[in-house]
Amino acid sequence: MQQIELSINFICRDDFRLGYIPLNQIDMTSNAISKPLTQKRILEKNGVWLLVKNMFEGNNEILYEPSGRPYLYGDAQNKFISISHSKNFVALASSHKRIGIDIEEINERILKVRSRFLNDRELDMINATDLEFNTIAWSIKEVLFKLSKNEGLDFKIDLLILEEIEPRKKFQCSMKEENEMKEVIVEIVRVDKLIIAFNV
């Protein structure tokens, strides 16, 4: 059996660390899976497990709240985490504050569904044929969705892109949190055909 060298990529800020890895580098048997899953879900779960092992010291396990929000249990349990999957990648971010991340590969299918997640003002702000910007917008909405404690959020009403602070790199946003709107800054990093979004 040929051994593949593991290549974990990192994005680091003062109080934030994000790791991501291509699914094609993940061994299908590297972690025990307790229930039947598709091959892709096994790769995603094993990818998250590898990221946890490489990003945190000690013994740690990812558990899930009833809402589906992941959290760390073990030696690094004082950290907040967020997980994201795309067709070919899995990502994990950690911080001492609540964190939301999204990893997306730029793909034309986003242009067909943009009216489902962008409100009228955002549709006017983002050119209908701009593949990169529409992918960024979807990633921002995903970050806000993961960050909010609310359930049943409407992507057009409760998760808003207000303005570009830095072109295609930093955005002023707003999300519904309990009964009020809370402002959030979302940063974007582009790596080849990959968009990575996270709150700062």
Query: What pLDDT score does 34 carry?
Result: 54
108 within domain boundaries? yes
Amino acid of residue 79: K
- In this prediction, residues 183-188 reach a mean pLDDT of 98
Tens of pLDDT, residue by residue over 138-184, are 999 999 999 999 999 999 999 999 999 999 999 999 999 999 999 99
Whether residues 107 and 85 fall in one domain: no
Radius of gyration from C-alpha coordinates of the chain: 17
Whether residues 35 and 62 fall in one domain: yes
Whether residues 134 and 67 fall in one domain: no
Tens of pLDDT, residue by residue over 23-73, are 988 876 555 455 567 888 899 999 999 999 999 888 888 998 888 889 988
1 within domain boundaries? no
Q: Which of 137, 117, 141 is nearest to 127 (CA)?
A: 137
Residue where one domain finishes, among candidates 64, 99, 134 = 99
4 within domain boundaries? no
Domain that holds residue 92: 9-99
8-12, 88-92, 101-105: least confidently modelled range: 8-12
Give the number of domains in the chain: 2
Asked if residues 157 and 62 have their Cβ atoms less than 8 Å apart, the reply is no
40-44: Cβ within 8 A, 24+ apart: 43/90, 44/85, 44/90
Whether residues 28 and 48 fall in one domain: yes
Name the residue with higher pLDDT: 8 or 106. Answer: 106
Query: What pLDDT score does 31 carry?
Result: 53
Whether residues 62 and 144 fall in one domain: no
Whether residues 15 and 72 fall in one domain: yes
pTM of the model: 0.89
* 106-130 core/surface letters (b: 16 or more CB in 10 A; e: else): eeeebeeebeebbbeebeeebeeee
Whether residues 24 and 64 fall in one domain: yes
